[in-house]
């Protein structure tokens, strides 16, 4: 079945009205994720945009049609590991899934996540990477890219945006031999769906899915442009689509199809968080993008 | 209901829903003389409020936020953008 008919036939398990911004890709990715996984799913959603938008529910109502709990920002993976251990006694086929922000993953929750990978907990940990702590007002996170202006890396007489480079969490988890690691973009839906379906089949350890979700409000662009931005991120190799399984890296079709990459500047222009960057700053980003591509190509060739 | 009771809801009643259609300043409208039914808009609508009925692509406007992604991504420019009268 093609992706359109498949997604049209699947049940949307998220409330139809949540308060994510217009054009928010975290909302789209969550809906598609749950469409693929189905009702036999238990969710944890730590504090962040998605919990705040109502996914975790308000008062006594629910924001999703599956059981959902809100862990603390730093302990999604360990709470989920406990939930999984309990479900294993009842029905090991229940998908235990975290949908956590990049702040809750790359910074605050990294220790819990890494420990779950070490224990080979069979949970599906999804990082919704919008490249900052968006829900609390766009503070810099470990996955915020170099040069981006955020409320804690402001641009002014001294500041020039974030000084350091984006933390590479999927690569970290691959190096720690998670059972399955994949990077996903909602702009490439067939690839996205295939990876979630594959993740659902993995039974021998931690599954880590890293989704780059453009955030129009935080990145400073029109909501209507977020799919196009996600596409530019892949075509410029700013965001690399790949899978890691059984000690092997495989570059995914949309990234493999990029023969002549788009200039990273094409991805950067049109986002307010990068508006201050000079050509030399963009060159720095180009350099890192090239290094990451070279590294992945070498790993995938082995 | 007791404040300590934990409730898991599996249906529309008890589901938290915000009337996000009130956010719209414009609404999408498919021009069926141009639509080829490819479903690109259906893939990318962040609300998943575009579906298929009798082989046709249809937009359910009940919660549509008017983000314009469907219109931007449509390869046939088949989605008209209508100003909401408020
Ligand atoms: C330990 C702790 N520190 C700070 C907060 C406040 N807080 C709530 S949501 C949030 C932002 C989370 O950012 P991220 O995980 O990237 O998710 P996003 O909002 O971007 O979706 C923060 C800092 C918290 N809840 N717990
Ligand atoms: S701030 Fe960004 S991630 Fe958060 S709801 Fe808005 S668009 Fe989505
Ligand atoms: S305007 Fe946005 S929310 Fe409304 S149907 Fe189009 S893509 Fe969906
Ligand atoms: Mg974030």
DSSP B8-58: ---SSTTB----GGGG-SEEEEE-TTT-----HHHHH-TT--EEEETTEEE
CA distance A71 to chain B (A): 15
pTM of the model: 0.96
Contacts of B79 in chain A (CB under 8 A): none
Of A15, A28, A58, the CB nearest to B44: A28
β-sheet bridge partners, residue A128: A101, A211
CA distance A153 to chain B (A): 28
**Phi, psi torsion values for A180, nearest 5 degrees:** -155, 130
Q: Two tokens at B21?
A: 């259609």
Q: Two tokens at A187?
A: 């702009």
**3-class DSSP state of A64:** strand
β-sheet bridge partners, residue A51: none
What pLDDT is recorded for position A246?
Answer: 93
What pLDDT is recorded for position A220?
Answer: 98
Buried b / exposed e along A107-117 (16+ C-beta atoms within 10 A): bbbbebbbebb
pLDDT digits (tens, 9 = 90+) for A115-144: 999 999 999 999 999 999 999 999 999 999
Q: What is the dihedral of CA B55, B39, A5, B23, to 10 degrees?
A: -100
What pLDDT is recorded for position A100?
Answer: 98
Tell how far the Cα of A133 is from the centroid of ligand 4, in angstroms.
4
Tell how far the Cα of A24 is from the centroid of ligand 2, in angstroms.
5
Kindly give the confidence (pLDDT) of every residue in chain B, 86 residues in length, as a single tens digit, with 9 standing for 90 and above. 344 444 454 544 578 899 999 999 999 999 999 999 999 999 999 999 999 999 999 999 999 999 999 999 999 999 999 999 97
Domain coordinates in residue numbering, chain A: 3-301
Angle between helices A25-37 and A189-201 (to 10 degrees): 50
Nearest ligand, CA of residue A70?
1
**3-class DSSP state of B82:** strand
Instruction: Find, in chain B, the residue whose alpha carbon is nearest to that of A226.
Output: B69
Collect all residues with Cβ–Cβ distance below 8 Å to A92 and sequence separation of at least 6. A122, A203
Interface residue of A1, A8, A16, A42 to substitute, partner B, most B CBs within 10 Å: A16
The enclosing H or E element of A36 equals helix A25-37
Kindly give the confidence (pLDDT) of every residue in chain A, 302 residues in length, as a single tens digit, with 9 standing for 90 and above. 899 999 999 999 999 999 999 999 999 999 999 999 999 999 999 999 999 999 988 877 889 999 999 999 999 999 999 999 999 999 999 999 999 999 999 999 999 999 999 999 999 999 999 999 999 999 999 999 999 999 999 999 999 999 999 999 999 999 999 999 999 999 999 999 999 999 999 999 999 999 999 999 999 999 999 999 999 999 999 999 999 999 999 999 999 999 999 999 999 998 999 999 999 999 999 999 999 999 999 999 97
- The residue written with tokens 């997604």 in the block is A7
Of A8, A19, A186, the CB nearest to B42: A8
Would you say the CB of residue B57 lies under 6 angstroms from ligand 3? no
Tell how far the Cα of A189 is from the centroid of ligand 3, in angstroms.
17
Of B11, B18, B72, the CB nearest to A224: B72
Residues 27-86 of B with CB under 8 A from A: 38-40, 42-49, 51-52, 62-63, 65-69, 71-73
What pLDDT is recorded for position B8?
Answer: 53
Residues in chain A: 302
- B63-66's contacts with Cβ under 8 Å and 24+ in sequence apart are B63/A16, B63/A17, B63/B17, B63/B19, B63/B20, B63/B21, B64/B20, B64/B21, B64/B24, B64/B27, B64/B28, B65/A22, B65/B20, B65/B21, B65/B23, B65/B24, B66/A22, B66/B23, B66/B24, B66/B25, B66/B26, B66/B27, B66/B28
Collect all residues with Cβ–Cβ distance below 8 Å to B74 and sequence separation of at least 6. B40, B41
CA distance B16 to chain A (A): 5
Collect all residues with Cβ–Cβ distance below 8 Å to A299 and sequence separation of at least 6. A249
Q: What is the ipTM of this complex?
A: 0.96
Q: What are chain B's domains?
A: 35-83 (3.30.70.20)
Residue B12 at interface with chain A, using a CB cutoff of 8 Å: no
C-alpha–C-alpha distance, residues B71 and B52, integer Å = 17
Nearest CA owner, ligand 1 atom 13: A133
CATH architecture of A3-301: 3-Layer(aba) Sandwich (3.40)
């Amino acid at each position: 079945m093609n992706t359109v008919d498949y997604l049209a036939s699947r049940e949307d398990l998220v409330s139809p009205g949540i308060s994510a911004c217009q054009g928010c890709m975290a909302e789209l990715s969550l809906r598609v994720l749950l469409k693929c996984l189905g009702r036999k799913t238990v969710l944890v959603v730590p504090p962040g945009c998605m919990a705040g938008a109502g996914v975790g529910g308000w008062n006594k109502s629910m924001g999703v049609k599956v059981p959902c709990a809100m862990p603390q920002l730093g302990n999604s993976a360990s709470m989920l590991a406990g939930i999984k251990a309990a479900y294993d006694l009842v029905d090991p086929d229940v998908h235990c899934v975290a949908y956590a922000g990049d702040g809750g993953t790359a910074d605050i929750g990294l220790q819990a996540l890494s420990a779950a990978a070490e224990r080979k907990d069979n949970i599906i940990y999804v990082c919704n990477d919008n490249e900052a702590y968006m829900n609390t007002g766009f503070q810099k996170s470990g996955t915020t890219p170099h040069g981006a202006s955020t409320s804690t890396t402001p641009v002014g007489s001294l500041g020039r945006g974030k000084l350091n480079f984006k933390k590479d969490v999927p690569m970290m988890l691959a190096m720690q031999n998670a059972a399955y690691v994949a990077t996903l973009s909602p702009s490439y839906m067939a690839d996205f769906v295939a990876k979630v379906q594959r993740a659902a089949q993995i039974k021998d350890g931690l599954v880590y899915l890293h989704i780059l979700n453009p955030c129009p409000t935080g990145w400073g662009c029109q909501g209507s442009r977020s799919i196009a931005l996600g596409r530019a991120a892949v075509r410029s190799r700013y965001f690399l689509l790949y899978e890691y399984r059984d000690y092997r890296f495989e570059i995914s079709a949309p990234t493999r199809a990029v023969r002549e990459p788009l200039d990273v500047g094409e991805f950067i222009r049109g986002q307010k968080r990068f508006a201050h960057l000079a050509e030399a700053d963009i060159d720095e980003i180009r350099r890192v993008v090239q290094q990451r591509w070279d590294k992945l190509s070498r790993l995938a060739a082995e | 209901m007791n404040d300590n009771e934990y409730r898991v809801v599996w249906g529309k009643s008890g589901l938290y829903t915000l009337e996000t259609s009130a956010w719209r300043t414009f609404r999408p409208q498919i021009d069926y003389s141009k639509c080829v039914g490819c479903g690109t808009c259906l893939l990318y609508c962040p609300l998943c409020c575009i579906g298929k009925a009798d082989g046709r692509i249809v937009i359910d406007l009940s919660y549509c936020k008017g983000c314009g992604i469907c219109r931007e991504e449509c390869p046939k420019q088949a989605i008209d953008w209508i100003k909401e009268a408020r």
